Amino acid sequence: MKPSPILVLTRKPSNRISYAFRLILGELLGLDVRITQDKTEFAGFKSAKFSYGVAVDESELYFEAHDLLFESGISVKKLNYIDFEGERAFFGCRSKNAIIPFDPFAASFYLVSRYEEYLPHIRDEHGRFQSRESEAFKEGFLQKAMVNRWALKIGEIISRQFPDVKISPPVYSFRPSFDIDAAYAFKHKGITRALGGFYNSIRRRSISEIKLRLLVLMNKVKDPFDTFDYLLKLQKTHNFRPYYFFLMADYGPRDKNIPVNNRQFLRLIKWIADYSDVGIHPSYASGENPQKLEIEISRLSKVLHQDITRSRQHFLRLEFPITYRNLINMEITDDFTMGYPDQPGFRASICTPFNFYDLDLDMETHLRIHPFAVMDGTLHDYMQLTPGQSIDTIRSLIGEIKLVGGTFIPLWHNQTLNDQDEWRGWLDVFEKTVELAKP
């Protein structure tokens, strides 16, 4: 079915306006968007339309415009928060003629472009923007997909004014994802690392770990990180298609996967790629060295005999706009890093994929950003929640995403599903997540 057309009257065209309207009206509402500065064309248009920051007849829909979408460059903004339908919103309006009391297009652009991450901020030990620095955390809407919510509100307004217009928001979907930082705990690491592991276990006087290492290396018991058979069985039972991101790095202080030329590791990658969508897990070291990124992508490409177009950064290291530019230069088309390591929720306040907008260049790119909502380590390590508390958190996030028709992408690791030691009880968390996340 052909999408319904909608015409927007603005005072000045810009890349920001085109991006914001295409995202909100096009991708989140399913409308065919046209933008004009011609008031005569606007007056004669017979389908859905509204004016943005341009005074017209009072019978027409009018959204007051903040200057953000008409500007270029980056500067500190006064956000002017208001309460709107029980939630926080910003870029509040002065005009009584505005259909809603804030500018949802400018506010959405501010959040989705990650405008605040281009401004001066305090970084954590890994050079990452911290969740507590974000407006969403400070104002209490980090666990709300506000951009999706505002889009649906705009859709309600348009439908009420133009009953013949068909609004087509996205449909909820579930795509779990797994970062393979270390495919195996003890096996396939080479003699030097195996001996080093034994030495560390002896130094810690961990008799149980020494025993487990021996049993695994003698093939008496399964490696505790080898949960891949279990994941494939669960995938077939519940009919979902996951994403896997493999670390293909040289060994280093923060990059400790299996040697990239190990035959069993390479067979594992090929096997998983038969049932899943595979991408690169750019190493910690590649953040300062794009040449390493190129090498790592090439390694994975040679294993699978295909172009590698998906990625998620190791340690979720994401610096605007450098990280995304490096990925674009390496012909990555889809990235899955958008989320915080220490808090669940929506880093860009949206739970559907969107294109990266480079604020420094003031242009939309073709790099597709897929936000994840929650990570196992966030709940267990950062927040130190119990399995029961974690399930409650996940249930709330899934409810929010289903409410707005988003895509639920949880981030898990193979080693956290072994149901042993510190991760005992977390296998149940994952299985409950899969049950709750069913469409």
**Cβ neighbour number for residue 18 with a 10 Å cutoff:** 18
∠ at Cα 149 (146, 152), nearest 5°?
150
The runs of H, that is alpha helices, within 183-304 are 191-203, 207-217, 228-238, 263-273, 290-304
Compute the half-sphere exposure of residue 16: CA atoms within 13 Å on the CB side of its CA.
26
Length of the chain: 439
Give the span between the Cα atoms of 38 and 60, in whole angstroms: 15
Q: Which two tokens stand for residue 385?
A: 């929640």
H or E segment and range at residue 369: strand 363-369
pTM: 0.94
Q: What angle do CA 129, 23, 340 make, to 5 degrees?
A: 20
Q: Over the stretch 373-420, which tens digit does the pLDDT of each residue have?
A: 999 999 999 999 999 999 999 999 999 999 999 999 999 999 999 998
Cβ-proximal residues to 107 (8 Å cutoff; 6+ apart), any chain:
66, 89, 90, 91, 146, 150
Give me the mean pLDDT over the 192-213 stretch: 58
The per-residue DSSP string of 395-418 comes to: HHHHHHHHHHT-EE-EEEEGGGGS
Question: What CA–CA distance (Å, rounded) separates 195 from 37?
Answer: 71
Percent residues over pLDDT 90 in the chain: 86
pLDDT, residue 347, reads 98
Predicted local distance difference test score (pLDDT) of residue 208 = 62
Question: Who has greater pLDDT, 194 or 232?
Answer: 232
pLDDT at 214: 64
What's the average model confidence in pLDDT over 332-348? 98
How many CB atoms neighbour CB 76 within 10 A?
9
Q: For 166-182, how does the pLDDT look when each residue is reduced to its tens digit (9 = 90+)?
A: 999 999 999 999 999 99
Beta strands in 26-100 (DSSP E): 32-36, 48-52, 62-63, 82-84, 87-89
Per-residue confidence (pLDDT) for residue 185, from 0 to 100: 84
Beta-carbon contacts of 65 under 8 Å, excluding residues fewer than 6 positions away, are: 10, 11, 52, 53, 103, 105, 106
| pLDDT value of position 191 | 58
Number of H helices, E strands in the chain: 14, 17
Region 134-148 average pLDDT = 98
- pLDDT at residue 188, rounded to an integer: 65
Residue-wise pLDDT for 76-96, tens only, equals 999 999 999 999 999 999 888
- Rg of the chain over Cα atoms, rounded to whole angstroms, equals 24
Look up residue 129 and give its DSSP letter. Answer: B
Nearest one of 67, 63, 135, 70 to 104, comparing CA atoms: 63
- Categorise residue 39: left if φ over 0, alpha if ψ from -120 to 50, beta otherwise: alpha
Q: How far is CA 185 from CA 189, 208, 216, in A?
A: 9, 14, 9
Mean pLDDT computed over 113-119? 98
Is pLDDT at 159 greater than 60 in this prediction?
Answer: yes
Residues 6+ apart with CB under 8 A from 187: 216, 217, 223, 226, 264
pLDDT mean over 136-148: 98
The burial class, CB within 10 Å (0-12 / 13-18 / 19+), for 280 is: buried
Per-residue tokens: 300: 């994975």
**Half-sphere exposure for 56 (CA within 13 Å, toward CB):** 24
pLDDT at 158: 97
Percent of the chain with pLDDT over 70: 93
Residue 257 pLDDT: 87
